[in-house]
Amino acid sequence: MPTLRIRPAAPRSAALLTVDVEDWYHVNYRSWRAPSLPPEPVRVDVNTRRILALCSEHHIRGTFFILGCVARRHPGLVREIADAGHEVACHSLEHDLVYESPSPAEFRRVAADARVALEDAAGRPVLGFRAPSWSITRNALWALDELLAAGFRYDASLFPFENYLYGLREAPTRPAWVTTPAGAEIFEVPAPALELGRLRLPHGGGFYLRVLPLWAERLAMWTHARRSEPTMLYVHPREVDDLEIPMPLSITERLIQNARVAAGRAKLLRLLGAARWSPIREVYAAEIGN
């Protein structure tokens, strides 16, 4: 089984805002049966524009990891994101788990196709990748080599806490150079987790942002800054939606999907005004290049 070799990046305090641009049905729960055609209603465009409006109101910018299928259906939305000064990055083509890819070659082809769709829509290079549901896990580290082969400069897919769907316990908790199975290096910007001795506390987005109290998020941000390491928010368009769309999920996964959505939205609005949030590509320009 491959293991990770990590070379830490230079210490740097920063606040990284990231948005996973996908629609409400782009989920990977075990109890979810994805439809063969995109279901109605389409909400990704209106909700992403709400996030853009919030960013404009707070004078902040971020990295938008956009699905290639969204870029193909809504190229104007991608152009709006880029024209507003945000970084356009890749969230794969469809919302498929990397570790369920038929082969490394097929994953590379799909990632490259998504990148082309995004670059065509944005009119500028796409350097970063984030896997759907953080699905570059221990059994899928080969994907890091495929990302380099597809032209990406950095990855943001490793989640340094394991659960039943994703995560890698030995992943870094701060940006670092990660040695791939083939011996190359790729720059990694992992999901936010606070290291407390041997414990790792995920925070900053999704279920974790919704269930943790606001003071815990603020404490995590303060601790990251004290350690000269970045803090991160990760946002999904459905989390700012005022329309609740029921999904046929198991009891446990329905709880994960729907618990404290309104509370999470309120905390997100508070946190957007709590820091000068920036895109990954700008903060780590020395490591990533242009």
The domain 5-285 is placed in CATH, from the list 3.30.2350.10, 3.20.20.370, 1.10.1040.50, 3.30.930.10, at 3.20.20.370
pLDDT at position 4: 86
Query: 235: Cβ–Cβ under 8 A, 6 or more apart, which residues?
Result: 17, 18, 19, 20, 51, 205, 268
pLDDT at position 69: 97
Average pLDDT over residues 99-119: 98
Could you state, in order of their start, the residue ranges of all structural domains in the chain? 5-285
Distance in angstroms (rounded) separating the CA atoms of residues 187 and 6 = 10
DSSP state of 205: B
pTM score over 0.95: yes
pLDDT at position 187: 98
Strand-strand pairing, 154-155 and 185-188: parallel
192-216 residue pLDDT tens: 999 988 889 999 999 999 999 999 9
pLDDT at 1 exceeding the cut of 70:
no
51-76 residue pLDDT tens: 999 999 999 999 999 999 999 999 99
Average pLDDT over residues 251-261: 93
Tell me phi and psi for residue 162, to 5 degrees: -100, 140
pLDDT at 2 exceeding the cut of 60:
no
Distance in angstroms (rounded) separating the CA atoms of residues 18 and 152 = 17
